[in-house]
Structure 1
Amino acid sequence: MILYAELSDTDLVVLLKQADHAAFTEIYKRYALLFFHKVNKMLKDEDSSKDIIQELFIRLWNNPEKLQENGNLSGYLYVSVRNLVLQLIRKGKVMNDYLNSIAGFVEEVNMDTLNELDERELTRILQEEIEKLPAKMKQVFEMSRNQYLSHAEIAAQLGISDQTVKKQVNNALKILRSKVSAYAPAGWMIIELLKK
């Protein structure tokens, strides 16, 4: 008889890929409560937190092929639960007041997990926030970052002063930094790249 509680995460993943219910149950016992507390600390909403944990484990059972047998199970679950929280936020089901809590949650992650952050997702979020900028600010920002025009060139094309251009670009960066930094530390890197 297999003593599942004594198995390593790697062994449990191998069994889970064989649709072993007991292995799944053991993974649930090890991680569900831990991640529930982390999510509930951020959301301060037990029902939403329970829903996220339920969705996390449904996806784990339905998609075991996404797990690497020699990979970091806790890191995989961490990134998955983080993405589920971000999806909930994007759907508008969580108040913006909790973004700072979420930022703190993301900062708890170790370097291995940070490597798994989806920079494409952050870039998409950033582009959405650029689209929300006031029209003139967006135009100046995109001329600066996409067309690589200098402040003087933008000012000449739009018939405004260099100082106005500089102020618009700085204000855009301030807005984008505040929006993107709440999602993940990697958001800061994207903003820093944009500043160049």
Structure 2
Amino acid sequence: MSEKVLYEKRLLERIKNDSDAAFEEIYNRYWKQLFNFGMRKLNQREIVEGIVQEVFIDLWVRRKSISIYESLSSYLHSSVNFRIINQYKSRSIREKYLDTLKAQSPDTSISIEELIQFKDLKLNIKGIIKKFPIQRQKAYKLRFNKGLSYSEIADVMEISVSTVEKHLIRAIKDLRVSLRELTLASGMALLQDPLFFFL
């Protein structure tokens, strides 16, 4: 086993023990590599940035149970690649769905009921966000309302990029837990809102 793989295994063990420092080390070590890899595949900066952040979010959220049988670097690159493939698939499915809606109802692509559900969903999200701690709320709004990058948020809030990452990981986790009881239709409306995921 190479020195690099041994080093990565030690980092993973530390993460499983809730080490913020180990997570920050992995984040700083691999973020740029993964972003450049994603850009070569997709070449859409905002979407690739969001995909890379999702990979790190997933790593942290699943840290207790995750099993990596390859190198950490390979695992992270595979995760980015998998999400990019899904991005292509979901875009294709969404376009086909919208084409079908337009063919069925040329004058409108969404029903009144769906509009009401979407409005209710937005109100629910706003209510959840208002309960966030001040710093988490600020980071969330800068990201999703203002569209700032992680590094820009770090500059505005005068904190590290990894701290921004932690605020947004917690915000997304809290939102998903709070929204679990919403209807499937509302959930589908949420999936159409790029501000919820892309970061």
Bin for the TM-score computed over the shorter chain: 0.3 to 0.5
Higher gyration radius (CA):
1
TM-score normalised to structure 1 length? 0.41
